[in-house]
Structure 1
């Protein structure tokens, strides 16, 4: 048996102990340690992005096209390509397109009708759920966008070929039916919210409006003040030489009849309402289910012909709707 002298002379190494090792904890996470994101075209502020879109319009004529023809092609490119990239480009492109074609759109409105695709005070639904930023509660705004999509296409076709003739009745359905119907829906929404018969909240999330509560409070306070301040009938003067005066009873005021309890009106959500529009009559239609189920006509009123203003028809619809809900 051979024994190595090195093993005998040197003792074995000490055992491994984890406590003898001092491990430094990793540094805390810092967002500044990450590299900054690369700047992109859509990361610019909205006003700079809008200026870039405006700069895309040519300012000089081309080889075989004039300046206006090139700009109309740029509008067609904005409507058909650039606005579909993302949300930032959509907002910038629609700002340019709507401001360009809005005067022409308003000039084609039929005589007794009105138009307001961009109201000064746009109401927002009183709900906690966030709404998509590109959706608008104004029903006439999509009609303007539909007109823009049709007009930019026709302008480019007319510039490209002399054989393409623009039809006179191309916008007939748009301004005879779609525009007055959507405008009437906006007016019904405005008057209905004011009267407390329509709410902007989604179905099942009714939030009472301040106008209805204040009106009910004012009516209650007015009636209570009327009851408390009702003057009592004056007492007739007592003659001094009347022996039988002490046996007469003072007439008591008759008690007021009890006021019948008013039925609480539950407003209808505007997202489920639409308007049926024709020359002779208009009606308010409600969709019963969100999956495109059956519809029912709530109110239907007659029109006085083509010369009747939309505001008059909207007020009549709201008046009839209030009578139906309070019945």
Structure 2
């Protein structure tokens, strides 16, 4: 969500406030106006039992889980900055656990590209800082990053239910994530590595046409035990827009690795480009 420079940046220089002079337009600044690295430190302390001890708990593990839950459900909702910082802390906390579930023959990259909302006050397109802050915090998030965030939501809920009752049973949500969602999302991110005559990263506001190159933002991948199907959506995937339509672009046979399956998709798109396979066709 933000790079190491933001966290390690020095605090602003001290400027003593002149006494007896009342500002013409006084503004009350809250904690969210602090430098990012200080907010990160403050929110990290909420999970540190030694830094912020409490006399109302007796089980350290239960207290840890409840504090993580409070960070996830409470502090993230304070404002945009809190959401970004708290989400970064949660991702760092659960990253090792997430990666431990990846199948040995699969690859993973929960952060396929830089998606910082805090380092750059101005967007490359020239949008103002206010315009950027009005956008969804999910803009620029990779497909596997979204799967990682879902894993965090599942784990936080499971851990809370476990400490509340020893009779709590884990469902199949985690297995479903790594059996179906993670492989598909990883391939969807890998589509951006294909040549630009096949895939472009452009985020279009209009329904894409049945032609190459295809906007990656409108593509999704569905996996079966044998086949991988690429679908083109009328709305950007993950935009939250309801309705719309989708149609299959190509279907290819899966290989043992996600990179190998992505290469098969590239070959299938190349066959469509050379008119060897019809739109929506199957490539063996």
Normalised TM-score (structure 1): 0.63
Q: In structure 1, what is the Cα distance between the partners aligned to 2:271 and 2:84?
A: 42
3-state SS of paired residue (1:88)? helix
SS of the residue aligned with 1:140? helix
Q: Which residue of 1 aligns with 2:248?
A: 297
Does the aligned pair in 2 maintain the 1:301–1:316 contact within 8 Å?
yes
Structure (1 or 2) with the larger CA radius of gyration: 1
The corresponding residue for 1:180 is 183
The 1:40/1:121 distance shift into structure 2, 3 A limit, reads closer
**Aligned match for 2:162, one of 158, 162, 167:** 158
Q: Give the C-alpha shift of residue 289 in structure 1.
A: 5.4
Cα deviation for residue 33 of structure 1 reads 6.0
Taking the aligned partners of 2:41 and 2:99, their CA distance within structure 1 comes to 26
SS in 1 for 2:143: coil
Unpaired stretches in structure 1, ≥5 consecutive residues: 1-31, 206-264
Q: How does 1:217-256 map to 2 (within 5 A)?
A: none
Q: CA RMSD in A?
A: 2.8
Distance 1:45 1:284 in 2: 43
Cα shift at 1:195: 4.3
2:280 matched to which residue of 1?
none
The one-character-per-residue Cα deviations of 1:29-52 (angstroms, maximum 9, x if unpaired) are xxx963231121111111111111
Name 1:93's counterpart in structure 2. 86
Q: Over residues 6-40 of structure 1, what are the superposed CA-to-partner deviations in whole Å (9 max), with x where a residue is unaligned? A: xxxxxxxxxxxxxxxxxxxxxxxxxx963231121
Instruction: Tell me the equivalent position of 1:202.
Output: 203
Aligned to 1:322: 270
Find the counterpart in structure 2 of residue 262 from structure 1: none
1:278 is aligned to 224
CA pair 121-152 structure 1, distance change in 2 beyond 3 A = closer
Q: Does 1:139 align with 2:163?
A: no
Alpha-carbon distance in structure 2 between the residues aligned to 1:93 and 1:204: 30
Deviation at 1:82, TM superposition (A): 1.0
With over 3 angstroms needed to count, the CA separation of the structure-2 counterparts of 1:166 and 1:289, relative to structure 1, is closer
Call closer, same or farther: CA 1:299–1:202 in 2, change over 3 Å.
same
Q: Distance between the aligned counterparts of 1:198 and 1:128, measured in 2?
A: 25
Aligned partners of 2:72, 2:152: CA distance in 1, in Å?
8
What does residue 4 of structure 1 align with?
Answer: none
Cα deviations by residue, 1:225-269 (Å, 9 ceiling, x for unpaired) = xxxxxxxxxxxxxxxxxxxxxxxxxxxxxxxxxxxxxxxx84111
Preserved CA contact (<8 Å) 2:231 2:249: yes
Unmatched 5+ residue regions in structure 2? 1-21, 117-122, 237-241, 276-284
TM-score, scaled to structure 2: 0.72
TM-superposed CA distance for 1:61, in Å, is 7.2
Mapped partners of 2:225, 2:150: distance in 1: 23
Separation (CA, whole Å) in 1 of partners of 2:249 and 2:269: 7
Cα separation, partners in 2 of 1:128 and 1:202, compared to 1, 3 Å:
farther
Q: CA deviation at 1:295?
A: 1.5
Query: In the alignment, which of 45, 53, 57 is matched to residue 43 of structure 2?
Result: 53
SS in 2 for 1:171: helix
Q: Tell me how far 1:128 sits from its aligned partner.
A: 6.4
> Are the equivalent residues in 2 in contact too, given 1:199–1:270 (CA < 8 A)?
yes
> Taking CA–CA contacts closer than 8 Å with sequence separation of 6 or more, which of the two structures ends up with the larger relative contact order?
1
Measure how far apart 1:136 and its partner are: 2.4
Q: Matched residues in 2 for 1:86 and 1:105: separation?
A: 26
1:267–1:89 CA distance, 2 compared to 1 (3 A): same
Provide the rounded CA distance (Å) in 2 between the counterparts of 1:76 and 1:187.
32
Partner in structure 2 of residue 209 of structure 1: none
User: Is residue 101 of structure 2 the alignment partner of residue 108 of structure 1?
Assistant: yes
Name the residue aligned to 1:41. 31
